[in-house]
A = this chain, B = another copy of it.
Amino acid sequence: MAFAPAGLITLTTDFGTSEPFVGIMRGRIFTRFPAAQVIDLTHGIPAGRADLAGFWLARAWHEFPPGTVHLAVVDPGVGTARGVLLAAVAGRRLLAPDNGLLPEALRGTGSVRWHRMAEDLPARLGLGPLSRTFHGRDLFAPLAAELATGALALVDFGPTVDPLDPAPLPLPSRDEQGILGQVLLTDSFGNLFTNIGAAEVAACRQPFAEIAGRRLEVLPTYGAAEAGDLLALVNAFGLLEVALNGGSAAGALGVAEGTQVRLRDGMLT
Q: How far is the CA of A5 from the CA of B241 in the complex (A)?
A: 39
**Does A63 make an interface contact (CB < 8 A)?**
yes
Q: How many residues of A contact B (CB 8 A)?
A: 66
| Chain A residues numbered 222-239 whose CB sits less than 8 Å from any CB in chain B | 222-224, 233-237
The listed residue (B18, B56, B78, B223) touching A77 by CB distance below 8 A is B223
Task: Please name the 3 residue pairs, one residue from A and one from B, whose CB atoms are nearest each other, closest first.
Answer: A27-B63, A16-B188, A134-B236
Q: Which of A7-26 contact B (CB under 8 A)?
A: 8, 10, 12, 14-20, 22-24, 26
Give the complex CA separation of A18 and B52 in angstroms: 11
A187 within 8 A of B: yes
- List chain B residues, Cβ under 8 A from A245: 76
**A197: Cβ under 8 A from any B Cβ:** no
Chain B: CB-nearest residue to A8: B30
Whether A179 sits at the interface, judged by CB under 8 Å, is no
Whether A220 sits at the interface, judged by CB under 8 Å, is yes
Q: How far is the CA of A24 from the CA of B59 in the complex (A)?
A: 8
Taking a contact as CB atoms under 8 Å apart, the answer to whether A134 and B235 are in contact is yes
A residues sitting closer than 8 Å to B (CB atoms) are 6, 8, 10, 12, 14-20, 22-24, 26-28, 30-31, 34, 37, 39-44, 47-48, 56-57, 59-60, 63-65, 76-80, 131-134, 137-138, 187-190, 220-224, 233-237, 241, 245-248
Q: Which residues of B contact A31 (CB under 8 A)?
A: 63-65
Q: Do A27 and B132 contact each other (CB < 8 Å), given the known contacts A6-B34, A187-B18?
A: no
A235 to chain B, nearest CB (A): 5
A-B contact pairs, 14 of them (CB 8 A): A8-B30, A10-B27, A14-B189, A15-B188, A16-B189, A18-B42, A19-B56, A24-B59, A48-B246, A78-B222, A80-B224, A131-B236, A132-B233, A133-B221
